[in-house]
């Protein structure tokens, strides 16, 4: 029987200041609290996350968010079996704020400290929510990440492929901007697409003809810009229906690329998978989700999409990754540095570029 463990998790790698307390024994793990303080309003005017503003906001807010998480869970620091903190990849100022606070608390209270890779947090979430066994395929799709990970163990990840430029969330956000829709762009574009014709504008499906499961989304945005400009040149502007059709065409292209590359990633995994799991804000998109569900049904494996608040950035996934490490016998350590880039799979070739929401790793 597993010993009951309670960990505090701290996450500050992008634009969410988060702390959570997770408890796990022999049954279903319990999220005792999960506080997420977003920074959307601080960055809104700049059209993207400003690293310096994010770092300062994390530094100012982390103490309070940790206190709130402990209070909401009804526990004190002394009742913790350890602290887990995101040590990268991400915007370095924010990561450092979290790491310094976690180190200070761990030293002051004599608690074991577990540095956690933010992407490992996302990748291990289906085990927190659904208790699935290794190995499974994880598709991470958000504003900053887009990659296929074969998750073989707590610390064993094989990156099968990923975007070579923009993350899909970034592409949704840029599309929204080009069409005068509000940010974050994903939900706005999805709402418009619901009453649009996905066949009127046929946008490119980049890299589908290429082997492997790497993806590219930046050309899609350029194609959309061209289609919009052609309409403007032609008619002096775009109508509401034009906008809906552009959104529907764009969404259909992203959904098709993700689905086709997912089938390919399942083949590339080359072993029997327990599930296809998704994480990241883009996984909220109903068309994308439906496409992925049908891919997993065709492959005969369950489809797992954790609740949205655990798919997007949060600290419960970090606390859980700490529990996984403790259980796997991985030693806690004070000897680590905060890392802006930290690929989960050291053997995979480096991905190009860095998203506006931070390192894609
Ligand atoms: O995982 P997330 O909350 O944050 C990070 O990227 O770290 O993902 C946010 C991204 C944004 O780019 C947003 O536009 C996108 O997820 N998103 C969506 C939808 N909801 C959020 N994209 C497409 N369809 C949606 N319904
Ligand atoms: Zn994330």
Domain ranges of the chain: 5-131+313-359, 136-301
Report pLDDT digits (tens) over 121-151. Answer: 999 999 999 999 999 999 999 888 899 999 9
User: Can you tell me the distance from the alpha carbon of 12 to that of 98, in angstroms, rounded to the nearest whole number?
Assistant: 6
Per the prediction, the chain carries an average pLDDT of 93
Cα of 103 from ligand 1 centre, angstroms: 31
Q: For domain 5-131+313-359, give the fold.
A: Nucleotidyltransferase; domain 5 (3.30.420)
Cα of 122 from ligand 2 centre, angstroms: 7
Report pLDDT digits (tens) over 18-47. Answer: 999 999 999 999 999 999 988 878 887 777
H or E stretch covering 34? strand 30-38
Give the distance from CA 250 to its chain's centroid: 21
Q: Are the folds of 5-131+313-359 and 136-301 the same?
A: yes
179 contacts: CB under 8 Å, gap ≥ 6: 189, 192, 228, 238, 243, 246, 247
Q: Pocket of ligand 1, candidates 125, 142, 193, 290: which has the most ligand atoms within 8 Å of its Cβ, to mutate?
A: 142
Cα of 144 from ligand 1 centre, angstroms: 9
Residue by residue, DSSP assigns 249-312 as HHHHHHHHHHHHHHHHHHHHH-S--S-EEEESGGGG-HHHHHHHHHHHHHHT--EE---HHHHS
User: Can you tell me the distance from the alpha carbon of 45 to that of 136, in angstroms, rounded to the nearest whole number?
Assistant: 40
Worst-scoring range by mean pLDDT, 170-174, 290-294, 323-327, 345-349? 345-349
Worst-scoring range by mean pLDDT, 50-59, 205-214, 220-229, 259-268? 50-59
Pick one of 3.40.50.300, 3.30.420.40, 3.40.50.1440, 3.40.50.170 as the CATH number of 136-301.
3.30.420.40
Report pLDDT digits (tens) over 256-304. Answer: 999 999 999 999 999 999 999 999 889 999 999 999 999 999 999 999 9
Ligand 1 site residues (CB inside 6 A) read 14, 142-144, 169, 172-173, 184-187, 190, 280-282, 284-285, 312-313, 357
Q: Which atom of ligand 1 is nearest to the CA of 16?
A: 7
Cis peptide leading into 135, omega within 30 of 0?
yes
* Residue 306, number of CB atoms within 10 A of its CB: 20
User: Can you tell me the distance from the alpha carbon of 277 to that of 300, in angstroms, rounded to the nearest whole number?
Assistant: 13
Dihedral, CA of residue 217, residue 42, residue 122 and residue 291, to nearest 10: -40
Q: Pocket of ligand 1, candidates 91, 118, 125, 169: which has the most ligand atoms within 8 Å of its Cβ, to mutate?
A: 169
Q: Which atom of ligand 1 is nearest to the CA of 183?
A: 14
Cα dihedral 201, 206, 212, 215 sign: negative
Cα of 273 from ligand 2 centre, angstroms: 23
């Amino acid at each position: 029987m597993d010993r009951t463990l309670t960990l505090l998790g701290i996450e500050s790698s992008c634009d969410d200041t988060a702390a959570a307390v997770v408890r796990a024994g022999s049954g279903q793990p319990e999220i005792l609290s999960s506080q997420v303080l977003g920074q959307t309003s601080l960055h809104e005017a700049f059209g993207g996350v400003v690293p310096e503003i994010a770092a300062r906001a994390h530094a100012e807010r982390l103490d309070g968010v940790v206190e709130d998480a402990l209070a909401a869970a009804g526990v004190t620091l002394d009742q913790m079996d350890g602290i887990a903190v995101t040590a990268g990849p991400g915007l370095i100022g924010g990561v450092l704020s979290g790491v310094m606070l976690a180190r200070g608390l761990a030293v002051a209270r004599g608690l074991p400290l577990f540095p956690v890779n933010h992407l490992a947090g996302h990748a291990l979430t289906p085990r927190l929510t659904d208790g699935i066994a290794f190995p499974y395929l994880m598709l991470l799709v958000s504003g900053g990440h887009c990659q296929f990970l074969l998750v073989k163990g707590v610390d064993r990840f094989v990156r099968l492929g990923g975007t070579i430029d923009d993350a899909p969330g970034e592409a949704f956000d840029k599309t929204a901007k080009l069409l005068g829709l509000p940010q974050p762009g994903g939900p706005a574009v999805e709402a418009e697409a619901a009453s649009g014709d996905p066949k009127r504008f046929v946008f490119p499906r980049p890299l589908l003809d290429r082997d492997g499961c790497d993806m590219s989304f930046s050309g899609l945005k350029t194609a959309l810009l061209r289609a919009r400009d052609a309409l403007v040149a032609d008619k002096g502007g775009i109508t509401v229906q034009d906008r809906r059709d552009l959104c529907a065409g764009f969404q259909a292209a992203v959904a098709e690329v993700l689905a086709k590359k997912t089938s390919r990633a399942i083949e590339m995994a080359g072993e029997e998978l327990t599930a296809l799991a998704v994480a990241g804000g883009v996984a909220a998109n109903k068309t994308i989700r439906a496409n992925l569900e049908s891919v997993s049904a065709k492959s005969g494996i369950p489809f797992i999409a954790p609740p949205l608040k655990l798919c997007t950035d949060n600290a419960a996934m970090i606390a859980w990754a700490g529990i996984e490490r403790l259980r796997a016998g991985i030693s806690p350590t004070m000897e680590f540095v905060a890392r802006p880039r930290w690929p989960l799979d050291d053997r995979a070739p480096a991905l190009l570029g860095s998203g506006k929401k931070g390192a894609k790793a």
